[in-house]
Structure 1
């Protein structure tokens, strides 16, 4: 019996700083988890007190974070001068246990990652860096709950550190390179760790793990991870997110908002992939604000998609097919047959990166400045093209709410009539500013061109091109839109 109320019933696991027990709270009649400090006998009194202080701070740190994916702390009990942490009992397995049985799918990885990213975002908002994001510390509970636990080595802004100067803490293969170098970490360091976790979950191998810790740390600093082939194959957006999360320069990693949006899109079940949120017309995947327009337009083909023989053969076959059918793309462009995804074909710049999800294909310039997306909604649209376009206009002018939160401000949108292969269509042109997260600087204005077409069966196609609102990139984006619109051929008008 601990603290006169917590009866230990079974050992659940152990780690470097303690053993976790299942216990029963005799006062309120519920099962809980209790973390017992377990320290080596050779530690000095000063070292033992440091470890106990770390456990007490772990409890305080987790308790100050209000998020459903952060473990709930119930109590701290001092027994024989040692602090025992009493927390909620998460019924389930750790992600590490699950991965011991094999990899998980991209959609499930995105669902788990979305919850962990939310927990980290909440922690960072309170000045807490977790510093030990790894599969062992991600618990998968009942009712699809995901919980981030073990804040034992967390760094808390404004509090004195408990780690000796120069000492290294964390699990080497999941530690960001700036931490290995002894540089001051930030939220981006936890996001790197999340990227490694998701990479390992889907690809089946940790990108930097080596035979010993020094070799692993050296790999973190200098080794290029293998291309996340399975992730890119199943979801280009997810694969590209992993690649960017593992950027060695912290400033090049995506921010929490972009991670949340991308993972939410990937995690959404197929039948919901194009369903609106909070009144959005059509599909939420295209209703969200696309971020990451920084950088410059480049003309080199991205490395991510390789130059293997199969790829070359497929490209040659595609070129031959469209040559025989009389479709010719402009110089520097290629015609893409997207029959399987969206029942259409269109021309895109040759060096644009392709990603695909259910009912949607996206092409992005190598610098991430201009993006083009074509979606096909299989749900029944009761309105015609013009009314559907006006629904989008209203949605944007209302702030493009997602999960009841405004994502667009300073919106100016207009609708014009158009034609698609001789049929009635409509266009939506929108200038807006993405609403920044709290504490984040204001972003530059963006511009979005969209072609909306709804056929007689209520199936809707939406061609969207996103670009900066000003400068040369605006002109480039306008050209991309006009050429893509002109080349678009829908197969089941």
Structure 2
């Protein structure tokens, strides 16, 4: 690693070479090595693997779009999510006691990023009213008032997508928080969500949610954050 401008730390292949004993771009001869530096993806290190190795390799990708943007970081969340996540560097990490939720909170309080990896069972092992990754059921749940969410006047749209080759759903929900519904001009909020079912109905599913105000510049900023967050979710092979 090198110290860049404004005290920024810059990751280079030298750091990996110190651990591995050779650069991840090393080839059988000098011309091939130079060509690899210019155009090849680095080889996966033998020692820097697992939850740490994947974020490191993402930082060294040739395509800048495949790297975390400036001001963002890749966080290994293998224990809770079986995945790596991309989040703004300044956001504070909070983990709930039940071990299913990891939250990254915006210091300004404008945005909030939540990640779940959970089953449809409640804490007591019985079926809960959680609609899981079923888009139609979740839409009905939200628009019906979603008691546990405490929302009112919800409007939901969704579409089917894929994420890492898995079927998934992207959902946008505009709503009024229950606590604000009695105000003359309540502030509406918006969820951008990604729902990824497990391999079997009984398997845990992934749920990513970015909360933001539903009006003004925050809508555009929140949509950008959501795009980076969902694109940066890298589920580990089971």
User: Shorter-chain TM-score: what band?
Assistant: 0.5 to 0.7
Higher relative CO (Cα under 8 Å, sequence separation at least 6) belongs to 2
Shift in Å, 1:390 = 1.7
**1:54-453 maps to which residues of 2 (within 5 A)?**
322-324=55-57, 326=60, 328-357=67-96, 358-379=99-120, 388-402=134-148, 407-436=150-179, 442-453=185-196
Deviation (angstroms), 1:492: 4.2
Cα distance in structure 2, aligned partners of 1:437 and 1:477: 21
Contact 2:211 2:222 in 1 (8 A): yes
Tell me what 2:233 maps to.
488
Q: Normalising to structure 1: TM-score of the pair?
A: 0.32
Q: Residue 179 of structure 2: SS of its match in structure 1? A: coil
Alignment deviations for residues 259-309 of structure 1 (CA, whole Å, 9 cap, x no partner): xxxxxxxxxxxxxxxxxxxxxxxxxxxxxxxxxxxxxxxxxxxxxxxxxxx
Summarize the Cα distance change of 1:321–1:408 in structure 2 as closer, same or farther, 3 Å threshold: closer
Greater per-residue strand proportion: 2
Q: 1:342 to 1:396 in 2, by over 3 A?
A: same
Cα 1:469–1:489 change in 2 (3 A) is: same
**Structure 2: how far apart are the matches of 1:350 and 1:319?**
17
Larger Rg: 1
Point out 4+ residue stretches in structure 1 off by more than 4 angstroms: 318-321, 437-442
The answer to whether residue 213 in structure 2 is matched with residue 474 in structure 1 is no
CA RMSD of aligned residues (A): 2.7
Aligned runs of 1:446-465 on 2, under 5 Å? Answer: 446-457=189-200, 458-465=203-210
Change (3 A) 1:492 1:321: closer
The number of residues matched between the two structures is: 170
Q: Tell me which residue corresponds to 2:20.
A: none
Tell me the distance in 1 between the aligned counterparts of 2:137 and 2:229.
23
Distance in 2, matches of 1:469 and 1:438, equals 15
**Structure 1: stretches of 5+ with no match in the other structure:** 1-317
Q: Partners in 2 of 1:363 and 1:438 — Cα distance?
A: 26
Q: Does the 8 Å CA contact 2:133/2:195 hold for their aligned counterparts?
A: no
Please give the TM-score of this superposition, normalised by the length of structure 2.
0.64
1:213 aligns with: none
8 Å CA contact 1:386, 1:426 repeated in 2:
no
Deviations 1:67-102 (A, max 9, x none): xxxxxxxxxxxxxxxxxxxxxxxxxxxxxxxxxxxx
Q: Gaps (5+ residues) in structure 2? A: 1-50, 62-66, 122-126
Q: Deviation of residue 392 (structure 1)? A: 1.1
Return closer, same or farther for 1:492/1:354 CA change in 2, 3 Å cut-off. Answer: same
SS in 2 for 1:436: helix
- Tell me how far apart the structure 2 counterparts of residues 417 and 321 of structure 1 sit (CA, whole Å): 27
Change (3 A) 1:439 1:421: closer
Higher helix fraction: Structure 1 or Structure 2?
1
CA contact (8 A) 1:425 1:453 kept: yes
